Amino acid sequence: MTVEDKIKASETRIFKAVFPNTTNHYDTLFGGTAMHMMDEVAFITATRFSRQIMVTVSSDRIDFKKPIPAGTIVELIGTVSHIGNTSLKVRVEIYIEQMYSEDREKAVTGEFSFVAIDEHKKPIKILK
């Protein structure tokens, strides 16, 4: 399998409903909750790509373009965007979908960096 095939096969998509218990006093998703969901999707993507023990080492940049209101559905999409020797980056996008219409728009974009580690928690080479 080529690296491009592995990237495509490791793409991760998760859908979630935005319920009131995850929103702030403006009735929009807490930024920290969005970041938590993004890190989870990024971790799954990194692990599916490498099939190694992966740990988050940073969130490089997260851009909140649109508020995510309660009562919507969000789709999180994780894709490997860069592969280094012991680390890789995963780009995660959150799309908002209205529950009862076809409307869909990108709300948040972010990148997360991961390192592959061994049983002693030391960085090891990413298996490509």
pLDDT tens-digit readout, 52-88: 999 999 998 999 999 999 999 999 999 999 999 999 9
- Within a 10 A sphere around the Cβ of 50, how many other Cβ atoms? 21
The predicted structure's pLDDT at residue 127: 83
Measured on CA atoms in the order 49, 55, 61, 63, is the torsion positive or negative? positive
Give the CATH number of domain 1-114: 3.10.129.10
| pTM: predicted TM-score of the whole model, two decimal places | 0.95
The predicted structure's pLDDT at residue 108: 98
Q: Single out the residue of 112, 64, 115 nearest to residue 92, CA to CA.
A: 112
Partners of 113 in the beta sheet? 58, 89
The predicted structure's pLDDT at residue 100: 94
Question: Of all residues in the chain, what percent carry a pLDDT higher than 90?
Answer: 96
Q: Are 68 and 37 in contact (CB under 8 A)?
A: no
Taking the domains of the chain in order of start, what are their residue ranges? 1-114
DSSP character at residue 124: -
